[in-house]
Chain A
């Protein structure tokens, strides 16, 4: 006797095909069918009580509202920039238009708030990956050695954080952000671990908002999931501190970043 194949069997379980005559005469296939239906029903009931929490729904709605708000703000700013130009400037505008036709799709991709939200999600993902137990991390407590390692991986030597006050370097990692390799430091703090991710993108292109100035530098903030984010530009790169720690701690560690003066 030939039993039902997996494909025949699944069609019967999903009620996409009538029960073959074989089932009437095969106790084994009937038993298998009863078990499959029972497992299917039990799985459905096991997930029946699983719902997204109101907090998660609020978090997502908030992120969507932020994206919409940023888009509206950008539109409000752009309009007067065009219409308040002097007449003579229109010739220049016309010349620039040809360039913009090519550049606008790229600019929109880099600055659209939806992409910006995704950029912050990517930063949070890199941080989560840095903390994963199976993550490959170049571990060394000496920031200079970590900077050397990142130089071999990235082609430049990122600024290193100056630690203290109970903070310690765990190591550094290389990940991918918007299609290119980026480096990050992982720092242990008394409030929890954080990552300092070094990317070429400007903070505003990643949907961050300018928050404050300190030490002669502008600091930008963002957030994704439970992660706070603070960013600062230094040496042509953006240093994004990410972690489930208060933003002031992230700002503090970025204030103490120092470009390495070694040869």
Chain B
């Protein structure tokens, strides 16, 4: 039976990382908190299979990913038939290259609040959103991200690249609406 104190000392230091990931996946803060609590309950249940010394953060994030997929499947089974990729609004066609180019990407990005950037990430398809979060925010290696998301490392690379491009398109569109892109160019 899992030793709760051992589990707490090993797993709780990663609470922020798990919560950040949950916030990246869930639309609402309370949904994210419930998901995190479920992840720690499931992790305690499976703590016996955790290899001491291995990457606990990656292990917890994998449980999070599986719990999230279970949730999506549950919605899929009992709700309208919506695929994971389709469960988010479709990304608009890429804008014309000249329009999309950022003469100074950092200046444009700095105009957005943290919340706006997180919301733009939240509009990406689930698979892209999680992969980009793991690679760019958590700084996980491609193999670690591949292990968590259950796809080959090559898929992680292409998915990350597509996700970053899609995120940029979202932000470009928003910047254009607000007239920021014109000022930046």
Contact = CB atoms under 8 A, between A and B. Distances in A.
Interface of A: 6-7, 9-11, 14, 16, 31, 34-36, 38-53, 56-57, 59-61, 63-65, 67-68, 71, 108, 112, 114-115, 117-118, 120-121, 124-125, 128-129, 132, 134-136, 173-176, 224-226
Contact of B23 (A31, A45, A50, A67): A50
A60 B40 contact: yes
Interface stretch (B51-59, B131-139, B174-182): B131-139
Interface string B37-77: 11011101101000000000000000000000001001101
Contacts of A175: 74, 78
- Output the residue of A14, A43, A117 with the most chain B CB within 10 A: A43
B91 interface: no
Interface in B107-133: 109-110, 112, 114-115, 117-118, 121, 132-133
Contacts, number: 177
B112 A43 contact: no
A65 B102 CA distance: 52
Given A6-B162, A61-B8, A134 B36 contact: no
Contacts of B151: none
Interface residues of B, number: 65
B18 to A, nearest CB: 8
B42 A63 contact: no
A78 to B, nearest CB: 12
Interface of B: 1-2, 4-5, 7-8, 12, 15-16, 18-20, 23-24, 30-31, 33-34, 36-38, 40-42, 44-45, 47, 71, 74-75, 77-80, 82, 101-102, 105-106, 109-110, 112, 114-115, 117-118, 121, 132-133, 135-137, 139, 141-142, 154, 156-158, 160-162, 164, 167-168
